[in-house]
Structure 1
Amino acid sequence: MNQDFTENENISIPSYFYISGFSGILYMRYYYIFLFFVYIITVLGNSCLMLVIITDRNLHTPKYIAVFNLSLTDICESTAVISQQLDTFLFGNQLIPYGLCLCNMFSVLLFFTMQSLTLTILSFDRLVAICLPLRYCMIVTHRSILVIIGASWKLALLLAIIGPIFISRLSFCKVIVTVNSFYCDHGPIYRSACNNNFPSTVIANLFPAIIIGFPVFFIIFSYTCIAVTLFRITTPQDRQRATKTCTAHLILVAIFYVPITFTYAFWSFINTNTRIINLSLTYVLPPMLNPIIYTFMTEEFMVSVKRLLKSRFIFPSRK
């Protein structure tokens, strides 16, 4: 089908894409070693977080269903991004076949979008819990949160597949196209095309608004409402208790959105190599930090961890 499509539409597709990655940057072998440890911590941390949520029935709540989804997404997103970089470091494979490159683009877009949407879902959970506490159990149910997460996955799949589809309709003048990024990034690829790339340009400008802009707007709106509600709470103990429930999520939001917003806002003023490293850290650090933050910043999760450790290792059940 690709061959017929290429002949009929006079579209020339490259055999390979050359992922330049961190070529030309000094001492990058140490950065690759750093990425390896980041990936190990990410997989272990998020796997433990998911295991605790599955094991402890007290965490079988709508909020922790969303947290479980975030951990699953973190592992998948880190695998999609870091595996490509480690393959380059270990085996020197900077050439990636055309079809595999589009799959890599799809995977990164899918899981990055789901990270953003899941953080938005968690802000919705906090909004209802603090602003409408008496109606929380009616609004945020297991069924409703699963429906929202399912709809988010469908939206993420739709958004993620659009980029590769339009890339497949572009014609390239070279057999090997250089991609100035650390993975098969949509932007550098469509800008290398020979034919009209206007649809891809529209997508490149529209997607950040959908994937980052709308979630940030909703999160700011949510915490504005939360701040107003907290201001009306007269008891300092209640105000402190409500604030604690938002701390972990606010830290996750800051770690995820601030670096990437800064990078895109000052895109033209940042050196190419610096921009690539900044984006790389933006993709790999939040998934690693999420389980650490939830473990140490969420009291109910710490209680569950201590309970499980006590029951499994300190007082194991006797047969």
Structure 2
Amino acid sequence: MEKGNQSSVSEFLLLGFSNWSGQQALLFALFLCLYLTGLLGNLLIMLAIASDHHLHTPMYFFLANLSFVDLCLCSTTVPKMLLNMQTQTQSISYSACLTQMYFCVMFANMDNFLLTVMAYDRYVAICYPLHYSTIMTQRLCASLVAVPWVIATLNPLLHTLLIARLNFCSDNVIRHFFCDINSLLPLSCSDTSLNQLMVLAVVGLIFVVPSGCILVSYTRIISAVMKVPSAQGKLKAFSTCGSHLALVVLFYGAITGVYLSPSSNHSTEKDSAASVIFMVVAPVLNPFIYSLRNNELKGALKKALSPSKIFSQ
């Protein structure tokens, strides 16, 4: 392929973890297990919530949406990565790369919004328990999901259209396991200053603002919990929210390391590891974090998977 502004690439090469040449079989098995675990876990959560009318509450409504988004988020990257490992190929077409980038950004944004909404839901439940049903109405819950979906759909469209106007010349090697914006922009032979500005502005708004809202919500939650006279009550409240907060810290910590840290701190290995955390590990952890200590959800799942229930259908 000749260099020059008139030439353009028709495909990219995803290096992924190809530098780990001796561990490809181990990596394949690891990511396959992670993907199947996340797929099965999130599907089971959605099945349990859909099949039990007792779980048709705001908290479980948001959880079902989070499970769906997590399932889609890891499905945008892991199957292609596994296919490349299995076939020993690294290519992805130009159009497929932009499509993957769009859906990665969309579902990552939606994951971010849902974590924020769930933090607000827990804040209302703990700080205003007597008014919870009047505040968290069906209309508000639907709006808290519908509006983020609109934003999450339009935001990656902006980035995709801005990247589609760029020229990509001779260099088509993406040193990542998926088509990430930060990995695509350095390959362009066009001026990418507008793209970089929009990435910083949008990432700042879409991730910094929600993370601030989560921080405020949990600060007030902790303050309210500390006023509970019963030690058992405090333990129960912290147990409910602690796992959610741990996932939030993991998710936002990884995103900050990739998109909001100084460029001098970036490296292929660090960015890949951080991306694996919020693109693969966090979606897999969600089913366990939100269900292992949730007796209502475990009971609904047992009921949905009971032989009598299955055969009656």
Tell me the TM-score normalised to structure 2 length.
0.90
> Deviations along 1:73-120, whole A, 9 cap, x unmatched?
111111101022112112233121111111010011111111111111
Are residue 140 (structure 1) and residue 136 (structure 2) matched?
yes
Q: Distance in 1 between matches of 2:311 and 2:199?
A: 56
Is the 1:80–1:108 contact (alpha carbons within 8 Å) kept by the matching residues of 2? yes
- How far 1:255 sits from its partner (Å)? 2.9
Match of 2:289 in 1: 293
> Deviations along 1:203-241, whole A, 9 cap, x unmatched?
222233233212211111001111111222223333333
Corresponding letter in the other structure for 1:126 = R
Change (3 A) 1:28 1:200: farther
Are residue 43 (structure 1) and residue 75 (structure 2) matched?
no
Match of 1:185 in 2: 180
Are residue 130 (structure 1) and residue 130 (structure 2) matched?
no
Q: Distance in 1 between matches of 2:99 and 2:37?
A: 25
Match of 1:247 in 2: 242
Corresponding letter in the other structure for 2:69 = T
Gaps of 5+ in 1: 1-9
2:76 to 74, 80, 84: 80
Other structure's SS at 1:297 match: coil
**Superposition pairs of residues 223-262 of structure 1, within 5 angstroms:** 223-262=218-257
1:201 to 171, 196, 204: 196
Are residue 96 (structure 1) and residue 85 (structure 2) matched?
no
Change (3 A) 1:12 1:205: farther
Is the 1:78–1:284 contact (alpha carbons within 8 Å) kept by the matching residues of 2? yes
Are residue 52 (structure 1) and residue 48 (structure 2) matched?
yes
1:15 to 10, 18, 21: 10
1:114 to 99, 102, 110: 110
Corresponding letter in the other structure for 1:252 = L
Q: Distance in 2 between matches of 1:195 and 1:308?
A: 55
- How far 1:58 sits from its partner (Å)? 0.9
Worse overlay, 109-118 or 225-234: 225-234
- How far 1:131 sits from its partner (Å)? 1.1
Provide the aligned length of Structure 1 versus Structure 2. 307
Is the 2:119–2:214 contact (alpha carbons within 8 Å) kept by the matching residues of 1? yes
Q: Distance in 1 between matches of 2:146 and 2:283?
A: 21
Change (3 A) 1:227 1:307: same
Is the 2:251–2:277 contact (alpha carbons within 8 Å) kept by the matching residues of 1? no
Other structure's SS at 1:191 match: helix
- How far 1:26 sits from its partner (Å)? 3.9
Q: Distance in 1 between matches of 2:244 and 2:64?
A: 14
Change (3 A) 1:232 1:274: closer
> Deviations along 1:164-206, whole A, 9 cap, x unmatched?
11101111222x6111111111112112211211111112222
1:70 to 46, 62, 66: 66
Q: Distance in 2 between matches of 1:153 and 1:195?
A: 31
Other structure's SS at 2:187 match: coil
Q: Distance in 2 between matches of 1:31 and 1:212?
A: 30
Is the 1:182–1:280 contact (alpha carbons within 8 Å) kept by the matching residues of 2? no
Change (3 A) 1:40 1:215: same
Other structure's SS at 1:70 match: helix
Match of 2:279 in 1: 283
Corresponding letter in the other structure for 1:42 = G
- How far 1:61 sits from its partner (Å)? 0.6
- How far 1:271 sits from its partner (Å)? 4.0
- How far 1:303 sits from its partner (Å)? 3.5
Match of 2:146 in 1: 150
CA RMSD of aligned residues (A): 2.4
Match of 1:159 in 2: 155
- How far 1:317 sits from its partner (Å)? 8.8
Q: Distance in 2 between matches of 1:315 and 1:205?
A: 50
Match of 2:269 in 1: 273
Worse overlay, 64-73 or 21-30: 21-30
Match of 2:212 in 1: 217
Q: Distance in 1 between matches of 2:23 and 2:34?
A: 15
Other structure's SS at 1:27 match: helix
